[in-house]
Amino acid sequence: MLHSLMIRLMLNSVVIILSFGIIQLIKELFKNHLTWKAQYRIWYYLLLVLIFPFLPSSMIHAGLRLLSLSGGSVSPVKVMTPTIANDAGISSFIQDFSISVSRSRIFQLPAFLPYVWGLGIGIMSILNLFSDIKIRRIRQASLPLQNRRIRELFDCCLREMNIKKKISLYSSAYLSSPMAVGLVKPIIILPIHMLSEFTEEEIRFILLHELTHIKHRDLFLNRFLALMQTLYWYHPVVWIGLREMRKDQEVSCDLSVLSMLEENSYLDYGKTLIRFAETIVRRLSFASQIAGSEKEIRRRIRCIASYRKESRWKQLKSRFLLSVTSLVLLAFIPVMSVNASSGSFYSFYPEHMKQLDLGSCFYGYEGSFVLYGVNSHQYYIYNQKAGITRISPDSTYKIYSALCALEQGVITPGSSYIKWDGSVFPFEAWNQDQNLNTAMSRSVNWYFNALDKESGISALKNCIGRLEYGNQDLSGGIGSYWLESSLKISPVEQVKLLTRLCQGTLPFQPDHIKAVKDSLFISASQGVSLYGKTGTGNINGQDVNGWFIGFAQSRDETYVFSTNIQSDQSANGRTAAAITLDILENQNIYRQ
């Protein structure tokens, strides 16, 4: 799970850079057509990019579910939490053999990387905590403002801005710049020297500025920005982007204040900023202060000097440009930030689908379960996002390797015997002659590699194309393409292909389909026959991908299923089969 998050964060780093570039480009190209408020709000799209890797799958793929609703019914089904009772005895009738492959995958991450990320988060959290403690101490050392005239002025500002929420006014000898703090009970703290050095009009400007921050909920936003900087401490573009957002936040706040003032007061407001530029203090992360860096103050002064009340036409143009920007960014954010983490997705919009609540059944494994009732035409899916994600089929592909070999005449239903060449394998069951039934049940790699070599890559590509099998990518080469390599298929596609196998509608000869189907037979119980094939992806000695696909056939109904589990270790076909059998038993589909 943490490994998957690391991958999403790495991929999202590219999206962040592209999003930042698009936002800056739009701001530069259309700066004369965007209101200042729009130039600030456009940064919200960057925040959306930042939170994408942390969103749950259900939220990320909400759009897919909405599309599904337009075609049929989608409803959640609660399933009882099972104990993997079948795990202990499953090896008696399901064998799962796999050989480790060495892969330096593009997204193979160093084991220490999550710890480095966590260390950075820890350091940033400590720094933020110190900042928070500093603000808390200033707040505790502050006293309620006693100056009656300033309190009356403050009450007047509250009425002018139509703020009903209770906001307190304090003064402190430890500040040189006013600030607003507090999420639940906000307060404004004024430096005590201001009361004697600034005019009432200047203090009014300051109060309006800080109240605007509170009204716009900038205190909440600043806390969120600090969280994003903590999570993305390693990404310079995030720091730059959030810094620019804070600058635009101050400008937007300034111009919101100007919109409440008479035109002849604009210059006086700018002069108030200049006075604070002479007493710059270091900004505290979670607070909102009127002072900033000298360069930032100059920029704000220029904006104030050029401020004109924005026309209705400019506001409409801003809304249009923001809408276009959202479409541009949202078009590729999900693709690069989520989909890219797993390769590609299968488009799937069934008319009848029920979502299963099986999270507890997977015992910490990431994965999915897809079930289809052939006669009822009803899909039952746990974790739709994973269900449509294409991943390596591993040994489950051997079903179709056998079909291709039968079609090419490499073997026949009555003569599928291949002699063992004497090569020693780590499993005794492999070190002997094989036929289709024994090779399928024992998942004998050398047998199916021999079939593929005899069929030839050209015939295999043609066969895979006719089947429309996953991404149809055999570039990994014979003997490797199906084993944590180029060929990928989703659990949903596995179910759709097996359904066609059960119905005899695959583009192959009926006796060939029957021979493969018979080779998948596992056991029969209470009038239900169970067929299936396991698959395990073992990379560098670790079981990272486990499959169990098949179908349970009775007189009344055939249920086709596909279970996939993934983890950094211990995710294999045997475990996937145990999980599947428990689910089937809970659903009263198959009992041993």
Residue 69's pLDDT is what?
41
Q: Alpha helix locations (H) across 161-278?
A: 194-197, 200-215, 218-231, 236-258, 266-277
Q: Is 142 considered catalytic here?
A: no
CA distance 435 to 440: 8
Angle between helix 218-231 and helix 113-141 axes, rounded to 10 deg: 150
CB-based contact 248:41 (threshold 8 Å):
no
Residue 102's pLDDT is what?
58
Assigned token pair, 500: 């066609």
Cβ count within 10 A of residue 385: 19
Query: Choosing from 392, 395, 401, 485, which is the catalytic residue?
Result: 395
Assigned token pair, 138: 């200033």
For residue 71, the Cα-to-chain-centroid distance in whole angstroms is: 25
C-alpha closest to that of 65 among 354, 287, 345? 354
CB-based contact 157:208 (threshold 8 Å):
yes
Which parts of the chain sit beneath pLDDT 70?
1-4, 56-93, 95-111, 276-295, 310, 329-343
In the chain, what's the furthest Cα-to-Cα distance? 103
Q: Give burial (CB, 10 Å; 0-12/13-18/19+) of 55.
A: middle
DSSP assignment letter at 472: -
CB-based contact 319:34 (threshold 8 Å):
no
φ/ψ bin of 110: left (φ > 0), alpha (ψ from -120 to 50), beta (otherwise): beta
Containing 373, the helix (H) or strand (E) segment is: strand 366-373
C-alpha closest to that of 186 among 291, 290, 288? 288
Assigned token pair, 302: 């220029």
528 forms beta bridges with: 525
For residue 100, the Cα-to-chain-centroid distance in whole angstroms is: 29
CA distance 234 to 397: 41
Residue 72's pLDDT is what?
39
Cβ count within 10 A of residue 523: 14
For residue 481, the Cα-to-chain-centroid distance in whole angstroms is: 27
For 201, list phi and psi in degrees, rounded to 5. -65, -40
Angle between helix 200-215 and helix 218-231 axes, rounded to 10 deg: 60
Tell me if the domain spanning 79-109+343-586 has CATH number 3.40.50.300.
no
546 forms beta bridges with: 536, 565
Cβ count within 10 A of residue 237: 16
C-alpha closest to that of 592 among 548, 546, 552, 561? 552
Sheet holding 521-525, edge to edge: 73-78, 352-357, 378-382, 366-373, 558-566, 542-553, 528-539, 521-525
3-state secondary structure of 380: strand
CA distance 253 to 57: 36
SS (H, E, C) 84-98: CCCCCCHHHCCCCCC
Containing 497, the helix (H) or strand (E) segment is: helix 491-503
Assigned token pair, 376: 């009822």
- CATH no., domain 130-236+253-300: 3.30.2010.10
Assigned token pair, 13: 């780093």
* Radius of gyration for the chain, computed over Cα atoms and rounded to the nearest angstrom: 32
Residue 22's pLDDT is what?
87
DSSP assignment letter at 476: T
The domains of the chain are located at 2-75+317-342, 79-109+343-586, 130-236+253-300
φ/ψ bin of 30: left (φ > 0), alpha (ψ from -120 to 50), beta (otherwise): alpha
State the first-to-last Cα distance of the chain, in angstroms, to the nearest integer.
32
Containing 534, the helix (H) or strand (E) segment is: strand 528-539
Q: Taking the model in full, what pTM does it have? A: 0.56
Give all strands (DSSP E) within 156-204, no chain letters: 168-172, 179-181, 187-191
Number of helices (H), then strands (E), belonging to the chain: the values are 22, 13
What separation in angstroms does the CA of 267 have from each of 201, 202, 272, 500?
12, 11, 9, 77
DSSP assignment letter at 489: B
Q: Give burial (CB, 10 Å; 0-12/13-18/19+) of 371.
A: buried
CA distance 115 to 113: 5
Q: Which amino acid is it at 51?
A: I
